[in-house]
Amino acid sequence: MFAATALNRRSYRNQNVARAVFFLMTVALVIPVLIIVGTLVVRGGPALSWEFLFTAPRDNMTAGGILPALVGTIWLVVVALLASVPVGVAAALYLSEYAPDNLLTRTINLAIINLAGVPSIVHALFGVGAFVYFFRFGASILAASLTLAVMTLPVVIVATRESLQAVPQAFREACWNMGATRWQTIRKVVLPNSISGILTGVILEVSRTAGETAPIMFTGATAFVAFLPESVFDQTMAMSYHLYYIATQATDVPEQLTFGVALVLIAIVLAMNAVSIGFRVYLRGLKKW
Amino acid sequence: MDNGQRGDFAIETRGLNLWYGDFQALIDVDLEVKRGIITSMIGPSGCGKTTLLRTCNRIIERLGYVRTTGSVYVLGHDIFGDDVELVQVRKQVGMVFQRPNPLPISVRDNVLFGFRLHEARTRRVSAAEENEVLESSLRQVLLWDTVKDRLDKPATGLSLEEQQKLCIARLLPVKPEVLLMDEPCSALDPAGTEAVEEMIWQLRGDYTILIVTHNMAQARRASDECVFMLLGRIIEHGRTEELFLAPENSKTADYIEGRYG
C-alpha cells in the first residue's frame, strides 16, 4: 500500500539531480579560493620572514621587505575609518531612527545604493579632483584616505542601518511610552543593542579598504619612499599598490617576493574578517534577547 | 480655556476623526472616560479600539500617514495643543502593549528606566530612594515577592506574565494618571490572565485605566464601564453590567451574544 510508485521514483530522481547540481556549484565556489590561498602559501610562503615584514625594499624593489607599505596601509585604513565611521553611523542613525518616509529619504537611500555601485576607478578620479586639487591636500595620505572613505561610506551606512533595524521596534515603543525622546531611546536602548552589528560592519569595511588599489593610486600612494609617513600630508607606500607595482611595473623582481606581498595582503584581509566573525559570535553570545 | 470643567474626565474626545491614508479608522468619536475607574473597550477586530487607545498618548503619530481632526483632552488639557510637549503627555499617559516588551536589561533597570530619565536628571537620587521606588512599583503590580531575589537578572528571563506586570510596574515611577492597555493579557495563558487581571483591579482607584480587550468575559469581569465600538464609531458606552445585561443598541446585543465578531 505504501510502496513507491513510478511517479514517486521519478520525483526522487529529479530531486537528487537538483541537489547534486547545487552541491557542485557550491564546491565550484570554494575551489578558486583554495587555489588562490594554496598558490600564495606555496609560492610566497618562503619569502616570509621577520626581515621581510620589518625592512624596506632594496635594490629597485628586487629585494628587501615591505615595512613602508605595511605601515602605509595602516595609516590609510585608520584615517579612512576616522572619516567614514562617524559620518556613516550618523547618517544611518538619521535614516533609521529619525527620517520620515518621504521623497527626500527615498532619494537619499537611492543615492547610497548608487554610491555603492560606483566603480572604484571613478572614485579615484573623484578623489583626485576633489581632495588632491580642489581642497589642495595634494597627493597625500589624507587625500587617499578620504577617497577610500567616500568609497566605503555606503558599506558603513548599510551595515549600520541593518543592525539598527534589527533592534526590535517594541524596545523603542517601550522607551517612547516612558517619555523618552528619540535621542534618549537611541543612546540607552538602540545603540547598546546594535553596537555588535555596527562594529562588524566597520571591520568588514576595514578589510575592503586595505585591499583597494585604484582609489589610492592617484591620490596618495607612491611606488617607493624610503621613509615611513610622519603625517597625513605625506605620500606613502601601500600594500595593494606595492603589489600592483612590483607585479607589473618593476623589472627583475623575484617571483617569490611578489607572492609574498600578496600573501601578506590576503592574510591581513582574512585576519580582519576572522576577527569580525569571532567578534560577532562573541557579542551574540552576550545578547539577551 | 475651560480646563476646569473638562477636568472631570481623565480622557475626553470631541468629534475625533482619524484617517490612515484614505481609510477612516475613527469616525466622530466622542468618548468620556471617568477618573479612577477601569473602562474597557470591546468590539470586533479592526473596529478602531486600538487606534483610539493609541491616539490618547499620540503614539499613533509615529505612522507618517495618519491624519486626525477633532480634539482629545487628557486631564482637561488638549493634547493636540500647540504648547503640548509629547514627553509630558507620555509621562501622564502610560501604555501597555499586547506583547510584553521589557527592555533587554535587568529587572531593576527596567523599573527605574523612566524614573532615571525624568527624576534623576533634575536632582540627586540616592540609592535608597531608587530601591524604595523599585520596591513600591513592584509591590503595586504584585510582583515584588516573586522577583525580589532576581532584581539584577535580565528582565527577558521572566515568564510572560511577570514580564507584563513588569511593563506596567515600570510606568508607575513617573507617576502617570492614566494607563492605556492594549489587550494586555492576549499573550498570556489563563492563569497569567487571571493574575494580571487581579493586579489591574488592584491599581483601580489610583489610576484611570482604559483597556482594550477581545475577551468579553474579561471586559465583564474586570471593568466598571464598557465601550462598544464598531467600524470606527462608538456604538454604546455604559456601566459594564448594564451594557452586558441590557444593551440599548441592537448591534451591541448582537455582538455580545456572539452573532458576529
Q: What is the pLDDT of residue A287?
A: 62
Give exposure, B209-220, as e/b (b: 16+ Cβ within 10 Å): bbbbbbbbebbb
pTM for the model: 0.78
- Assigned domain for A1 exists: no
Closest residue on chain B to A170 (Cα): B101
Q: Between the CA of residue A85 and those of A120, A148, A216, A277, B135, what are the distances in Å?
A: 19, 12, 19, 19, 42
Query: Same domain for A198 and A275?
Result: yes
Query: Same domain for A29 and A92?
Result: no
Closest residue on chain A to B54 (Cα): A177
| Number of domains, chain B | 1
Phi, psi at B113, each rounded to 5°: -55, -55
Question: Contact at 8 Å (CB) between A261 and A243?
Answer: yes
Query: Same domain for A29 and A158?
Result: no
Query: Same domain for A38 and A170?
Result: no
Sheet hosting strand B233-239, strand order edge to edge: B93-96, B178-182, B208-212, B38-42, B225-230, B233-239
CB contact under 8 A, A178 and B59: no
Report helix, strand or coil for B230: strand
CB contact under 8 A, B113 and A102: no
Say yes or no: B114 contacts chain A, CB-CB below 8 A: yes
- The minimal CB distance from A170 to the residues B64, B99, B171 is found for B99
Closest residue on chain A to B114 (Cα): A178
pLDDT digits 0-9 by tens, B5-61: 456 788 999 999 999 988 999 999 999 999 889 999 998 888 888 999 989 888 887
Query: Same domain for A180 and A216?
Result: yes
CA distance A32 to A36: 6
Question: Contact at 8 Å (CB) between A161 and B90?
Answer: no
Residues of B in contact with A175 (CB under 8 A): 103, 113
Report helix, strand or coil for A238: coil
Q: Between the CA of residue A75 and those of A27, A50, A86, A215, B29, what are the distances in Å?
A: 37, 21, 17, 15, 65
Q: Residue A70 belongs to what H/E stretch? A: helix A67-93
Residues of A in contact with B97 (CB under 8 A): 170, 173-174
Contacts of B221 (CB under 8 A, 6+ apart): B197
pLDDT digits 0-9 by tens, A81-129: 899 999 999 999 999 988 887 889 899 989 888 888 888 899 899 998 8
DSSP A40-69: IIIIIGGG--HHHHHS-EETTTTEE--HHH
- Assigned domain for B25 exists: yes
| Number of domains, chain A | 2
Q: What is the pLDDT of residue A62?
A: 75
Strands (DSSP E) found in A189-262:
none
- Among B62, B88, B117, pick the best mutation site for testing chain A contact (most A Cβ within 10 A): B117
- Assigned domain for B204 exists: yes
Query: Same domain for A133 and A181?
Result: yes
CB contact under 8 A, A179 and B118: yes
CB contact under 8 A, A177 and B59: yes
CA distance A127 to A139: 10
CB contact under 8 A, B99 and A181: no
Question: Contact at 8 Å (CB) between B203 and B179?
Answer: yes
- Assigned domain for A247 exists: yes
Query: Same domain for A196 and A145?
Result: yes
Nearest Cα of chain A lies from the Cα of B88 at a distance, in angstroms, of 7
Query: Same domain for A18 and A155?
Result: no
- Sequence length of chain A is 289
- Cell numbers for A50, please give them: 621577520
- Assigned domain for B161 exists: no
Pairing of strands B233-239, B77-78: unpaired
Say yes or no: B54 contacts chain A, CB-CB below 8 A: no
Residues of chain A with pLDDT under 70: 286-289
- Cell numbers for B33, please give them: 472616560
Looking at the DSSP bridge assignments, the partners of residue A57 are: A64
Amino acid making up residue A185:
T
Query: Same domain for A87 and A31?
Result: no
Q: What is the pLDDT of residue A93?
A: 93
CB contact under 8 A, A179 and B154: no
Burial (CB count within 10 angstroms: exposed 0-12, middle 13-18, buried 19+), residue B243: buried
Contacts of B261 (CB under 8 A, 6+ apart): B44, B255
Say yes or no: B171 contacts chain A, CB-CB below 8 A: yes
- The minimal CB distance from B97 to the residues A173, A175, A289 is found for A173
Phi, psi at A198, each rounded to 5°: -65, -45
CA distance A167 to A160: 11
CATH code, B83: 3.40.50.300
- Among B74, B99, B113, pick the best mutation site for testing chain A contact (most A Cβ within 10 A): B113
Contacts of A66 (CB under 8 A, 6+ apart): A52, A53, A57, A239, A242, A260, A261, A264
- The minimal CB distance from B101 to the residues A171, A180, A288 is found for A171
CA distance A237 to B188: 64
Structural domain including B194 reads 3-100+179-256
CB contact under 8 A, B174 and A179: yes
Contacts of B101 (CB under 8 A, 6+ apart): A168, A170, A171, A173, A174, B167
CA distance A171 to A165: 11
- How many of the other CB atoms lie within 10 Å of CB of B57? 26
Nearest Cα of chain A lies from the Cα of B147 at a distance, in angstroms, of 18
Strands (DSSP E) found in A105-208:
none
Closest residue on chain A to B88 (Cα): A179
ipTM: 0.78
- Cell numbers for B162, please give them: 511577570
Query: Same domain for A26 and A168?
Result: no
Question: Contact at 8 Å (CB) between B188 and B103?
Answer: no
Structural domain including A19 reads 6-47
Closest residue on chain B to A98 (Cα): B62
Q: Report CA torsion sign: A267, A270, A276, A282.
A: negative
Residues of A in contact with B184 (CB under 8 A): none
- How many of the other CB atoms lie within 10 Å of CB of B68? 18
Looking at the DSSP bridge assignments, the partners of residue B103 are: none
Say yes or no: A103 contacts chain B, CB-CB below 8 A: no
Query: Same domain for A280 and A265?
Result: yes
Q: What is the pLDDT of residue A145?
A: 92
CA distance B58 to A248: 65
Query: Same domain for A18 and A69?
Result: no
Q: Residue B98 belongs to what H/E stretch? A: none
CA distance B251 to B261: 11
CB contact under 8 A, A178 and B171: yes
Question: From its phi and psi, is residue A102 left (phi > 0), alpha (psi between -120 and 50) or beta?
Answer: beta
Phi, psi at A88, each rounded to 5°: -65, -45
Averaged over successive runs of 10 residues, the pLDDT of chain B (261 residues) comes to: 59 91 90 91 88 88 82 88 85 89 89 85 82 89 87 87 90 89 87 88 90 86 90 90 86 82 58
- Assigned domain for B20 exists: yes
